[in-house]
Amino acid sequence: MTDTIDPKITAAPADAGSDQNVTRAPQPPAAVVRPPALKRRIPSVADLAPLMQFKKPEFSKTARLKRASTIWELRDMAKRRTPQAPFDYTDGAAEEEITLRRARQAFQDIEFRPGILRDVSRIDLRTDILGQESRLPFGIAPTGFTRMMQSEGEYAGSQAAEATGIPYTLSTMGTASIEDVAAAAPNGRNWFQLYLWTDRERSLGLIERAAKAGNDTLMVTVDTAVAGARLRDVRNGMTIPPALTLKTVVDASYRPAWWFNFLTHEPLTFASLSRYTGTVAELINSMFDPTLTYQDLDWLRETWKGKLVVKGIQTVEDARQVVDHGADGIVLSNHGGRQLDRAPIPFHLLPEVTTGLASDNSKAAVMLDTGIMSGADIVAALALGADFALIGRAYLYGLMAGGRPGVDRAIQILEKDMTRTMALLGVSKVSDLNPDHVRLLQR
């Protein structure tokens, strides 16, 4: 007789001593115990009160600027508040604007490589540049026609730099004079940017004025033999001073604050030049010298007794050459993409240039500009070998967004970005940044 096992039998008794496979019947699920916090209930007034603290709307300039967390957000504000022609003069570049896009993309195409278990409770952003300390490792680049962007112009930039403890560079094409900027920021570290003209006597006059006003650094720009094709300016009919056409009047109708400031302050002129009327390109082509050679740089070195920086370096060989001819520093720059489209990208040049100068045992300072839109961009440049960075558009967006407070906000954003980025990298001071902290990604 064969024994059968009822499949409903769950298991053999504990003392059965059998290894038989026994089918077990499914057990009913255990009762789910719901945590008290997940039991539904009607909320009390006391529960709702903390959630209903409505903040009073703030419409002041300070509150508006404080809401900007990035330079891109300042740019958006600037675009809303500034007529198209001056905004495009700042925002645009040459021809198809390929160089500018590539420069910004270059900073995006990196990978940070952080270190862990480092003490980053205090981040020190100070650095030495050209023999003096700067509280932050960047300064304000030379920008032309600055009071056209916003009426405070160079005064806002120089005073913000003075308050922060960073250098400010006044352009030959500035709309405030060397003397007025020195008076507006008497305790600031003021540099002067020079375009050499065909009229050397006028150039010499500017150099003497810069020295007398206390500028410790002369920055000569060498990438403007002729004007670049800045097509936005051409399409906008950009002239100096801005012309009141039907288009500009319509454009002004929803940007009244800009026009009110423009029309109620001193007329826009080139403070370092004679009064000029015409297009930007016509001015550059008529005044700047396309015959410059290294002999002119030698003349500058003999004439200027302070620090001499050459801006517009785009090859390793040129970097070496200008240092051999007496430059104390160089700026890797393609003029913000505003001259030769498809020009080399300063950030890409950094490793080659620093290696090349190091092999010559050069102590020249290596700076760069173009494409910088965040403090992380500056940290990446410092890690790859730059001694210092210069910001142009980034501070001008702040200026257009809110005058001097807007420039202050742009600097604050960059400083906060840098502090956070360095802490996350495990780096507490600028001098500890090195190429191991950054990897260039291949596209």
Contact criterion met (CB below 8 Å) for 93 and 230: yes
Euclidean distance between CA atoms 254 and 285, whole angstroms: 34
Contact criterion met (CB below 8 Å) for 363 and 165: no
Q: Return the axis-axis angle of helices 346-359 and 316-324, rounded to nearest 10°.
A: 50
> Smallest Cα–Cα separation from 159: which of 415, 406, 440?
406
CB-neighbour burial class of residue 97 (10 A; exposed 0-12, middle 13-18, buried 19+): middle
Number of H helices, E strands in the chain: 18, 14
Residues whose CB is less than 8 angstroms from the CB of residue 46 and which lie 6 or more positions away in sequence, other chains included: none
Residue 325 bears catalytic tag: no
Q: Which of 265, 325, 335, 437 is catalytic?
A: 335
In degrees, to the nearest 5, what angle opens at C-alpha 373 toward C-alphas 226 and 133?
90
What residues form DSSP beta bridges with 220?
Answer: 194, 310
Contact criterion met (CB below 8 Å) for 98 and 274: no
> Smallest Cα–Cα separation from 139: which of 168, 162, 102?
168
Quickly list DSSP for 296-309.
HHHHHHHH--SEEE
Task: Indicate the DSSP class of residue 387.
Answer: S
Residues designated as active site: 335
